[in-house]
């Protein structure tokens, strides 16, 4: 990853793509459903979305509303991921915790190794981990992981910002992987950038009135694009 800021926009529909692309997004995260983490879209929907953009697309790999998976479901996840990548997705998004609410390094590693050379993002399950510092120590060793979407708290960045910023400031390995998301505010971006963070995720912030019923708006995305570029440009 370069020192330039990466702006990832979450899209829920193929009609979100034009606004994200026109506004200057660097990467798209595709998921379906009203759940903030979302679920896996169908391969046909992924194919339709990928055809509409030249931007890299990471697709959600999640088939139930928990942070765990089963053996049979795991096999389905691998098959889905292979289909997504074959269709043209750049990477995938997943994350698992064990019964003790620690990062399930075994399952994450198995899935990553089943998808060699496919970059992936650890989704918001990360914020449900019982011990954030321990979760980060586990994350930095996961193969293929290039981003951890985190708000520092299951309640979002309004609650987790201070702790998350402190973690980013604690070492370059965390700052390199961290992608703040989950209620990111404009005033938080410069502080994360100063801590070495270079990836940022926005979702409802790019939609008129912050509503999922509205499609991603190019003007909203452009505002975040300029903000990220300015914040990162001041520290590199």
Residue 1 domain-assigned (yes or no): no
| Structure letter (DSSP) for residue 60 | E
Find, among 85, 71, 76, the residue nearest to 119 by Cα. Answer: 85
Q: pLDDT digits over 128-184, tens only? A: 999 999 999 999 999 999 999 999 999 999 999 999 999 999 999 999 999 999 999
Is the predicted pLDDT of residue 1 greater than 70, yes or no? no
pLDDT given for residue 4 in this prediction:
86
Q: What DSSP string runs through 121-154? A: EE-GGGGG-S-HHHHHHHHTTSTTEEEEEE-SST
* Mean pLDDT value of segment 54-77: 93
Q: What is the pTM of this model?
A: 0.95
Look at residue 25 in the predicted model and tell me its pLDDT: 98
Count structural domains, the chain.
Answer: 1
From CA 54, how far away is CA 141, in angstroms rounded? 30
CATH number for position 227: 3.20.20.380
89 domain residue, yes or no: yes
Domain of residue 225: give its range: 6-233
**Predicted pLDDT of residue 3:** 73
Q: Does residue 65 sit within a domain? A: yes
């Amino acid at each position: 990853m370069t020192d330039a800021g990466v702006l990832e926009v979450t899209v829920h529909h193929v009609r979100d793509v034009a606004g994200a692309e026109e506004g200057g997004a660097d990467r798209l995260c595709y998921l379906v459903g009203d759940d903030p983490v979302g679920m896996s879209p169908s391969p046909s929907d992924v194919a339709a979305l990928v055809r509409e953009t030249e931007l890299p697309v990471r697709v959600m790999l999640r088939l139930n509303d928990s942070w765990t998976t089963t053996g049979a479901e795991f096999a389905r996840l691998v098959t889905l991921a292979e289909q997504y990548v074959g269709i043209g997705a750049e990477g995938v998004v997943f994350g698992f915790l064990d019964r003790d609410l620690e990062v399930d390094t075994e399952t994450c590693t198995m899935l990553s190794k089943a998808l060699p050379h496919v970059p992936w993002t650890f989704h918001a399950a990360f914020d449900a981990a019982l011990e954030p510092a321990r979760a980060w120590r586990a994350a930095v060793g996961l193969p293929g992981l290039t981003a951890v979407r985190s708000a520092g708290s299951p309640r979002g960045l309004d609650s987790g910002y201070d702790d998350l910023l402190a973690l980013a400031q604690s070492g370059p390995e965390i700052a390199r992987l961290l992608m703040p998301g989950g209620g990111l505010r404009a005033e938080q971006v410069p502080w994360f950038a100063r801590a070495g963070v270079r990836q940022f995720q926005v979702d409802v912030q790019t939609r008129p009135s912050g509503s999922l019923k509205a499609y991603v708006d190019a003007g909203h995305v452009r505002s975040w694009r300029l903000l990220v570029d300015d914040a990162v440009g001041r520290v590199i």
